[in-house]
């Protein structure tokens, strides 16, 4: 495809204006790559100068051209003295999305693409969907927070939903490699920044909406509108699947009356019959318009029951056989960093690692744990730096209310000082000096919970495992599958699972030495 042909196709979707000089030769030249990082520019590439939070891609246009980029696409006119081909667009991100769709020949039209959005549950639901599709013989790709699985091989994930050019390239690779379906997490950032524009979805799932990313969206209504966009993109006849236990799911059902509903508490199109949960997993039946699905899963807790029912709901709409659903559910032993039990039969305590990094996710995690534990809950968590600060005391309050011991530590402090983040978390943990009263009556007595603040995350996990008594559960929350920490502009290796296992090994050695 030549540059002229590519721009003509994009201009049908996004207004474009060609500026600068050298267009006669450039328009006839073939395009070999679409890049948004000037360091990746090479001969035959088109550089999309995107505006970011910390930098404006226009500043890197000269570098991209010096490395061989044949043209630059950006918002606004070229800088003074610019001589090469320049394309002006009102929204460079939308232009990139449609350019990528055209350049990679619309791969989403050649496979069944399932988009899964919501605050919590996206990752596990995509894993479940992929497992069910594979069990049905419909080889599935999977794109999301933990990894990108294409052609049966996992690749590192830079972000939950890739940038448009990377996303279309991955999907083209999936199609060319024989993948027939794809379960994909669709983040609110991706929807707001047009990364998924130009895709054709076969189905969309809404899991829930709770407080998160408000530093980016500004408020819950803006956050909801971003999520809602996925359902607006669905082609005619493509099913929408929504959780009507969630108030925002009820709103989506009102807006999209033909949506298929699922729930645990309300009567819905897809819902469980008798429900059973333990530390060994889930056991229940799900009633669907196509019949009863028997669930026997090693995933743990009520939140995972929602994820299982969501995956069953979308598979039901896509006519996946019930036997394949049941097999796919039973095949999936765990999802990395999602209520992942890292202790073993030789341990006298349980240690669970989970990605919960919002107050609602932490509440779900700890309520699930409370229903399963015989002893105490010891919670280790922190909050990320350079992100929504308002959730910090809220997470502290949840941890204090649902734990027996809280260990506050670092998460990914990024450019912030870990001690400052911990101080903000402590506002939700440290109780008021007096009980709350109304008309002279105590309505909320002061409840104190023991807590520790240990900045070093490894030391915090080791301390929590050491403090635990037989029968306790240590919950390490916030980072889950991540294998790094972002501290002061550096990315350092760090793995909650590995640290917790090392702490458990030390505990076993001490017990052996004590003869216990």
Summarised one tens digit per residue, pLDDT across range 74-128 is: 999 999 889 899 999 999 999 999 999 999 999 999 999 999 999 999 999 999 9
Q: Is 152 a domain residue? A: yes
Range of the domain at 256: 104-331
**How confident is the model over 435-450, as a mean pLDDT?**
69
**How confident is the model over 233-258, as a mean pLDDT?**
97
CA 85, CA 9: separation in Å to the nearest integer? 17
Q: Is 158 a domain residue? A: yes
Flag whether pLDDT at 322 surpasses 60: yes
The residue with tokens 């097999």 is 327
Same domain? 376 vs 400: yes
What length does the chain have? 516
**How confident is the model over 203-209, as a mean pLDDT?**
97
Domain-terminating residue out of 93, 112, 138: 93
**How confident is the model over 418-426, as a mean pLDDT?**
97
CA 338, CA 330: separation in Å to the nearest integer? 16
CA 477, CA 480: separation in Å to the nearest integer? 7
Same domain? 223 vs 251: yes
The residues, ordered by sequence, that sit 6+ positions from 90 with a Cβ below 8 Å of its Cβ are 14, 15, 75
CATH classification of the domain holding 241 = 3.40.1190.10
pLDDT category at 516 given cuts 50, 70, 90 is low
Single out the residue of 207, 185, 195, 233 nearest to residue 119, CA to CA.
207
* CB burial string 212-246: b at 16+ within 10 A, e below: bbbebbeeeeebbebbbbbbebbeeebbbbbbbbb
- Sign of the Cα torsion 381, 385, 387, 388 reads positive
Phi, psi of 136 (to 5 degrees): -85, 0
Single out the residue of 268, 234, 275 nearest to residue 250, CA to CA.
268
Same domain? 85 vs 154: no
Q: Is 229 a domain residue? A: yes
Q: Is 99 a domain residue? A: no
Same domain? 142 vs 255: yes
Flag whether pLDDT at 52 surpasses 90: no
Q: How far is CA 182 from the centre of its chain?
A: 16
> What pTM does this model have?
0.90
Angstrom CA distances, 200 to 40, 46, 111, 233, 416, stand at 28, 24, 9, 8, 40
The residues, ordered by sequence, that sit 6+ positions from 129 with a Cβ below 8 Å of its Cβ are 114, 116, 140, 142, 183, 311, 314, 315
Q: Is 275 a domain residue? A: yes
Flag whether pLDDT at 178 surpasses 90: yes
Same domain? 76 vs 196: no
Count of domains for the chain: 3
Same domain? 405 vs 386: yes
- How many C-beta atoms surround the C-beta of residue 249 within 10 A? 24
Single out the residue of 277, 288, 479, 470 nearest to residue 375, CA to CA.
470
Q: Give the pLDDT confidence score for residue 446 in this predicted structure.
A: 56
Angstrom CA distances, 353 to 275, 404, 413, 461, stand at 24, 17, 19, 11
Q: Is 10 a domain residue? A: yes
Q: Is 236 a domain residue? A: yes
Report the alpha-carbon angle 155-302-466, nearest 5. 75
Percent of the chain with pLDDT over 70: 96
Q: Give the pLDDT confidence score for residue 137 in this predicted structure.
A: 98
Same domain? 110 vs 88: no
Domain-terminating residue out of 93, 114, 139: 93
Q: DSSP E strands: which ranges in 226-313?
A: 240-243, 260-262, 271-278, 281-288, 291-297
pLDDT category at 433 given cuts 50, 70, 90 is low
pLDDT in tens, 296-318: 999 999 999 999 999 999 999 99
Pair 4, 25: CB distance under 8 Å? no
Single out the residue of 219, 220, 226, 9 nearest to residue 100, CA to CA.
9
SS3 state of residue 461: helix
Same domain? 386 vs 438: yes
CA 308, CA 132: separation in Å to the nearest integer? 11
Same domain? 437 vs 498: yes
Q: Give the pLDDT confidence score for residue 515 in this predicted structure.
A: 72
pLDDT in tens, 369-416: 998 888 999 999 999 999 889 999 999 999 999 999 999 999 999 999
Same domain? 138 vs 210: yes
Q: Is 98 a domain residue? A: no
Single out the residue of 92, 93, 106, 105 nearest to residue 17, CA to CA.
92
Same domain? 174 vs 311: yes
CA 20, CA 78: separation in Å to the nearest integer? 7
Domain-terminating residue out of 311, 331, 351: 331
Pair 168, 104: CB distance under 8 Å? yes
Q: Give the pLDDT confidence score for residue 439 in this predicted structure.
A: 72
Same domain? 446 vs 384: yes
């Amino acid at each position: 495809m030549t540059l002229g042909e590519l721009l003509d196709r994009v201009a049908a979707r996004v207004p474009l204006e060609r500026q600068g000089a050298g267009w006669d030769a450039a328009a006839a030249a073939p395009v070999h790559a679409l890049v948004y990082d000037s360091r990746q520019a090479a001969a035959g590439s088109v550089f999309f100068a995107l505006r970011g939070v910390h930098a404006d891609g226009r500043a890197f246009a000269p570098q991209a051209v010096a490395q061989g980029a044949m043209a630059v696409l950006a918002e606004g006119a070229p800088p003074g003295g610019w001589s090469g081909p320049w394309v002006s667009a009102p929204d460079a991100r939308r232009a990139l999305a449609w350019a990528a769709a055209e350049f990679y020949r619309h791969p989403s039209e050649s496979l069944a693409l399932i988009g899964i959005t919501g605050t919590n549950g996206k990752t596990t639901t995509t894993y479940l969907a992929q497992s069910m599709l594979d069990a049905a013989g419909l080889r599935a790709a999977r794109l999301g927070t933990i990894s990108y699985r294409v052609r049966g091989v996992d690749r590192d994930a830079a972000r939950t939903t890739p940038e448009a050019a990377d996303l279309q390239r991955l999907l083209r690779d999936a199609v060319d490699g024989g993948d027939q379906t794809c379960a994909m997490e669709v983040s609110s950032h991706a929807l707001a920044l047009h990364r998924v524009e130009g895709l054709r979805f076969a189905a969309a799932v809404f899991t829930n909406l709770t407080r998160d990313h408000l530093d980016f969206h500004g408020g819950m209504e803006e956050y909801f509108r971003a999520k809602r966009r996925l359902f607006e993109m669905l082609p005619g006849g493509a099913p929408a699947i929504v959780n009507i236990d969630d108030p925002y799911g009820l709103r989506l059902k009102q807006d999209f009356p033909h949506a298929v509903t699922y729930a645990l508490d309300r009567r819905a199109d897809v819902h469980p019959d008798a429900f059973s949960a333990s530390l060994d997993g889930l056991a229940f039946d799900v009633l669907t318009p196509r019949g009863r699905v028997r669930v026997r899963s090693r995933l743990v807790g009520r939140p995972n029951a929602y994820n299982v029912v969501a995956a069953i709901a979308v598979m039901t709409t896509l006519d996946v056989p019930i036997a394949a659903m049941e097999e796919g559910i039973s095949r999936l032993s765990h999802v990395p960093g999602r209520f992942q039990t890292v202790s073993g039969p030789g341990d006298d305590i349980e240690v669970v690692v989970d990605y919960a990094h919002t107050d609602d996710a932490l509440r779900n995690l700890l309520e699930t744990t409370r229903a399963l534990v015989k002893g105490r809950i010891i919670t280790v968590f922190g909050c990320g730096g350079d992100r929504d600060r308002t959730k910090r005391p809220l997470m502290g309050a949840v941890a204090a209310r649902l734990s027996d011991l809280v260990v506050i530590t670092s998460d990914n402090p990024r450019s912030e000082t870990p001690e400052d983040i911990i101080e903000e978390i402590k506002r939700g943990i440290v109780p008021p000096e007096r009980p709350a009263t109304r008309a002279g009556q105590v309505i909320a007595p002061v409840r104190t919970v023991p807590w520790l603040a240990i900045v070093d995350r490894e030391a915090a996990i080791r301390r929590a495992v050491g403090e635990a008594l037989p029968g306790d559960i240590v919950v390490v929350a916030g980072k889950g599958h991540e294998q790094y920490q972002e501290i002061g502009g550096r990315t350092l290796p760090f793995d909650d699972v590995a640290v917790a296992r090392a702490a458990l090994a030390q505990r076993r050695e001490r017990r052996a030495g004590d003869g216990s």
